[in-house]
């Protein structure tokens, strides 16, 4: 069953439920992002949502999208969608809010019952919400086409746009992987060993260890694209997210550690990994063969290639602000619902 258009002009809050992060944004431009390892604590989701929703007391409508149904704590996507819908409804009820609505790749908002009955439409729909809103927002600039490039902590979404609409028939993760519009490269959780098979060290090409010793957040931290946080130990080895430990994690990729690899040298190794990630994003953009502007979103835009081949680049972080851009699918979804 589809949700009717809202009657009031009160704020609408969008929530994007991923496997590692919960992202919030409302129609007034407030936004936040909270790390939440759904695969480790699936039954704590309602409690976390309830706590986070307290920061938005004047919101009257909750709209939700998700990718967290892919978390390996769920047997399949149907089980994941049903669990997330149930947890969201529990949180909304505890907060005294109206029944939430769920965005789907048909471009419609569904009730909880409708989401339960259409799990394959609701699953992994956040990219569609963002692309749908961006296509409408920048329609005058997309008459000859355009490409939305959204680079997050886990994936890069590349969605062709044209004349105010999404210009691809792909809807599922499988279809988008096969098409090349979903690339599992991000600026946070992507393992270094999935990006490179060797690193150049002291004039030698050294094969990397195929272990999750380091991830892209170590790479970006060492290169200055994200700040360190000594109190945050949610890293590959459970040690702090600071330069010293990030360098040590990178050194382990080639069987060394901080005793033989200085932070400066580890930064050189990180630069090689970073360039490989950028090359993969560039190759994906080229493979889609799109024309028109590149609309860049997400908090890891440093993975965009430098040369846009003369194409106009529209930056959502510059347009919306960094915080809202980090939660762009949630913001887009809230705007779409409010405009219905």
Sorted by sequence, the CB contacts under 8 Å of residue 176 that are 6+ apart come out as 127, 157, 168, 170, 182
What pLDDT is stored for residue 8 in this prediction? 39
Each residue of 144-179: pLDDT tens digit? 899 999 999 999 999 999 989 999 999 999 999 999
> Matching CATH topology for 12-124+322-339 and 141-309?
yes
| CA atoms within 13 Å, Cβ hemisphere of 170 | 21
What pLDDT is stored for residue 332 in this prediction? 97
Distances from the Cα of 235 to the Cαs of 13, 173, 297, in angstroms? 30, 27, 24
Predicted TM-score of the model (pTM): 0.90
Residue-by-residue pLDDT tens, the chain, 340 positions: 444 334 335 799 999 999 999 999 999 999 999 999 999 999 999 999 999 999 999 898 999 999 999 999 999 999 999 999 999 999 999 998 999 999 999 999 999 999 999 999 999 999 999 999 999 999 988 988 999 999 999 999 999 999 899 999 999 999 999 999 999 999 999 999 999 999 999 999 999 999 999 999 999 999 999 999 999 999 999 999 999 999 999 999 999 999 999 999 999 999 999 999 999 999 999 999 888 999 999 889 999 988 667 789 999 999 999 899 999 999 999 999 999 8
Virtual torsion, Cα 130, 132, 138, 139, nearest 10 deg: 170
Task: Give the number of other CB atoms < 10 A from CB of residue 9.
Answer: 9
Q: How far apart are the first and last CA of the chain?
A: 16
The domain segmentation of the chain, as residue ranges, is 12-124+322-339, 141-309
What pLDDT is stored for residue 311 in this prediction? 87
What pLDDT is stored for residue 199 in this prediction? 98
What residues are paired with 183 via a beta bridge?
A: 156
- E strands within 21-141? 21-26, 31-35, 61-66, 101-103, 109-110
Is the CATH number 3.30.420.190 carried by domain 141-309? yes
Strands of the sheet containing 31-35, edge to edge, are 31-35, 21-26, 12-17, 61-66, 101-103, 109-110
Report, at the CATH architecture level, how domain 12-124+322-339 is classified: 2-Layer Sandwich (3.30)
Of 141, 134, 165, the residue nearest 296 (C-alpha): 134
- Residue 232 φ then ψ, to 5°: -100, 115
What pLDDT is stored for residue 2 in this prediction? 40
């Amino acid at each position: 069953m589809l949700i009717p258009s809202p009657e009031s002009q009160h704020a609408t809050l969008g929530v994007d439920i991923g496997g590692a992060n919960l992202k919030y944004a409302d129609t007034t431009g407030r936004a936040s992002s909270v790390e939440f390892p759904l695969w480790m604590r699936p039954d704590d989701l309602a409690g976390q949502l309830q706590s986070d929703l307290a920061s938005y007391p004047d919101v009257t409508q909750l709209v939700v999208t998700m990718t967290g149904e892919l978390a390996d704590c769920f047997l399949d996507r149907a089980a994941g969608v049903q669990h997330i819908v149930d947890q969201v409804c529990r949180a909304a009820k505890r907060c005294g809010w109206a029944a939430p609505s769920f965005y789907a790749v048909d471009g419609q908002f569904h009730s909880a019952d409708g989401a339960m009955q259409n799990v394959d439409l609701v699953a992994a729909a956040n990219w569609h919400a963002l692309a749908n809103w961006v296509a409408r927002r920048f329609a005058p600039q997309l008459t000859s086409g355009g490409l939305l490039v959204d680079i997050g902590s886990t994936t890069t979404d590349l969605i062709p746009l044209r004349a105010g609409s999404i210009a691809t028939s792909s809807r599922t993760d499988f279809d988008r992987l096969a098409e090349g519009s979903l690339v599992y490269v991000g600026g946070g959780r992507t393992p270094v060993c999935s990006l490179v098979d060797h690193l150049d060290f002291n004039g030698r090409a050294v094969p990397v260890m195929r272990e999750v010793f380091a991830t892209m957040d170590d790479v970006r931290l060492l290169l200055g694209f994200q700040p360190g946080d000594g109190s945050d130990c949610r890293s590959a080895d459970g040690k702090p997210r600071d330069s010293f430990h990030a360098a040590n994690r990178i050194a382990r990729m080639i069987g060394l550690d901080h005793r033989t690899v200085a932070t400066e040298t580890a930064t050189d190794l990180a630069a090689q990994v970073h360039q490989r990630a950028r090359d993969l994003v560039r190759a994906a953009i080229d493979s889609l063969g799109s024309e028109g502007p590149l609309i860049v979103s997400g908090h890891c835009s440093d993975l965009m290639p430098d040369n846009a081949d003369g194409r106009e680049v529209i930056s959502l972080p510059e347009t919306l602000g960094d915080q809202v851009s980090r939660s762009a699918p949630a913001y887009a979804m809230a705007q779409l619902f409010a405009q219905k």
